[in-house]
Amino acid sequence: MKIALHFNADHESLGSLYGYSIYDEVFKVILNNRTLSISSKLFVGDLLFLLYSQEEVQKKVEKNVTSTTYRVNPEKYFRLIESWLYSEENNWKKFNTERLEQSLNQNIFVVCFESIDLKCAEFLFDNIKEYEPFIGAMEINDSNKTHWTLYSRSLHPYARITNKKLNLFHSSFESDDLDIEMQKEYLKLGFETVEFEDLKLKYSIFDSFHDYEHARRVAEWKKGFGSSLAYIADNVVSQLSDIAPDLGNKLWSALNTYESSETNEQFAQVVATCRRIFEYVTDCIFPPQNEPSEDGNSLKADKYKNRIFEYSKQNKLSSTNIDLITASTELLFAQWAKLHNLANKGVHAEVYKDETRRCLIRTVLMLDDIISLKDGPFEIQPNIKIQ
C-alpha cells in the first residue's frame, strides 16, 4: 500500500528547516525496529492545497505584456479538502482530529512511502503519534485524481529505503552536486549504508509514464491483484481445512515466526514449517501406502511428490494439468533446497528473509494448486473432541 505521513510544517518546534527534523524522527523509528521489513521509495514535500484552489481574477495588458492575478477560491478549497479526506470509502487513515483541524490553514508537509504493508504503516503511526508536529497517516490511492495531484504529481522523489540502507535520489542531468553533509548525517542516525542514486529524469516532465492515466492503471492493478491474492489465501484455508483441520494453525505459525524473526536460524524455522505444511496436507489428502502405484512409484510416507502425482492421476486430471502441478512442486522443493544451502553458507539475514518470504508465498500458491486437483469439495475430516 502507498501511505503518507502528514506533519504540521508550521509547528513551533520545527523552525524553518523542518524537513530534516521530520526525516530524523521517521528514520529513527524505522531503524529502532529490529524486525521491520521495508523496501520503498520516499516522496516528500508540501501539500499544495492553496495552489490547486486558486482561480484567475484578472488579466492586465500593459505595453504588450500580460500579467495575471490569482486568488484562492474558498469554495474550491473546501471541495479539495473534502475530496482529499473523504472521497475514498475504504482507505486506511488515522488522524489526530484536533491537530488536523488546526493544520488545515497551515503548511502540511508529507513523507510518502510508495510501497509498504499494513503492519509497517500501523507501526509507523503508533510510534510517531506522540510527536507533536505529526498530524496523521493515510493510504493514498492514485486512481483518485485528487490524491494523484497532491502526492504523485506534486511531491518530490527523495530517497529509497531498504531496511537499514538508504539511497538519496539526485539527477545528474540537473546537477552533479551531491549532498555529502546529509549523507554523513544519515550515517550517524544508524543506516548501514547511504548512497546516491541517479533518477535519470524519472518522475520529471520528460518521463512518458509520469502521468495520471498510467498511475491510475497501476493503482487499479494493485487493488485488483491484492484482492486476488487475498482470495487465494481465504480459499486455501476454507477448502483445505475441511480435510486438513490443523492447516490454519500451521499457516499462522509460519507467518508469525517469519514476522518476528531476526536471524537465519529463525528464518530456517519458517522454511521447515512451510515444508511440514506441504507434508501435512499431502498426508491428509493421500495417506502413505505400502503398495506402489501402477507405474511402480513408491507411495510410502517419505514420497510426498509421488503421492501428489498419484492423487492427480486418480482424479483423472489432464496431462497438461499434471505437468503444471509437477512444475509447481519441483519449484517449491528447489526453493527449500536453495534456502537450506543459503543457511549453510551464512548469507546475510536480509537476503535470507527475502527468500523466506518467497517460500511462504510459494507454499500458499502450492496449496492453491492442490485444491485444483479435486473436482468438488474435499471430504470433511474434523478433529472432534468428545467431553
Domain boundaries, the chain: 3-210, 226-371
| Buried b or exposed e, range 72-101, using 16+ CB within 10 angstroms | eeeeebeebeebbeeebeebebebeeebee
Backbone angles phi, psi at 174, to 5 degrees: -95, -40
Mean pLDDT across 152-179: 88
319 pLDDT above the threshold of 70: no
Mean pLDDT across 35-59: 87
Q: What is the pLDDT of residues 347-377, one digit of tens each?
A: 667 778 888 898 899 999 989 988 888 888 8
Comparing 57-61, 133-137, 230-234, 248-252, which segment has the lowest mean pLDDT?
A: 57-61
User: Quick one: pLDDT at residue 235?
Assistant: 93
The Cβ of residue 326 has, within 10 Å, a number of other Cβ atoms equal to 14
Mean pLDDT across 203-225: 91
Closest to 10 (Cα-Cα) out of 102, 97, 96: 102
256 pLDDT above the threshold of 90: yes
User: Quick one: pLDDT at residue 104?
Assistant: 86
Q: Name residue, grid cell 487475498.
A: 230
Q: How many residues does the chain have?
A: 387
Contact (Cβ atoms closer than 8 angstroms) between residue 163 and residue 37: yes
Task: Write out the H or E segment, with its range, that includes residue 328.
Answer: helix 319-345
C-alpha span between 163 and 132 (Å, rounded): 25
pLDDT band of residue 331 (cuts 50, 70, 90) is: confident
SS3 102: helix
Cα torsion for 7, 9, 12, 15, to the nearest 10°? 130
The Cβ of residue 268 has, within 10 Å, a number of other Cβ atoms equal to 18
Contact (Cβ atoms closer than 8 angstroms) between residue 304 and residue 383: no
C-alpha span between 285 and 290 (Å, rounded): 16
C-alpha separations of 232 from 25, 44, 223 in Å:
38, 35, 14
User: Quick one: pLDDT at residue 178?
Assistant: 86
SS3 88: coil
C-alpha span between 325 and 332 (Å, rounded): 11
Beta bridge partners of 42: 113, 159
User: Quick one: pLDDT at residue 128?
Assistant: 95
How many helices (H) and strands (E) would you count in the chain?
Answer: 12, 10
* Alpha helices, H only, 87-144: 97-103, 118-128
Give the rounded percent of residues in the chain with a pLDDT score beyond 70.
94
Mean pLDDT across 145-165: 94
User: Quick one: pLDDT at residue 62?
Assistant: 67
Task: Write out the H or E segment, with its range, that includes residue 342.
Answer: helix 319-345
Angle ∠(191,113,349) on CA atoms, nearest 5: 45
Q: Which three cell numbers stand for residue 90?
A: 475504504
| Mean pLDDT for all residues in the chain | 88
Q: Which three cell numbers stand for residue 153?
A: 504529481
Mean pLDDT across 314-341: 78
Q: What is the pLDDT of residues 60-92, one digit of tens each?
A: 666 667 777 778 888 999 999 999 988 777 789
Does the pTM surpass 0.75? The reply is yes
274 pLDDT above the threshold of 70: yes
User: Quick one: pLDDT at residue 221?
Assistant: 92
Closest to 109 (Cα-Cα) out of 127, 79, 136, 90: 136
User: Quick one: pLDDT at residue 173?
Assistant: 73
Q: What is the pLDDT of residues 92-136, one digit of tens each?
A: 999 999 999 988 888 999 999 999 999 899 999 999 999 999 999
Contact (Cβ atoms closer than 8 angstroms) between residue 360 and residue 254: yes
387 pLDDT above the threshold of 70: no
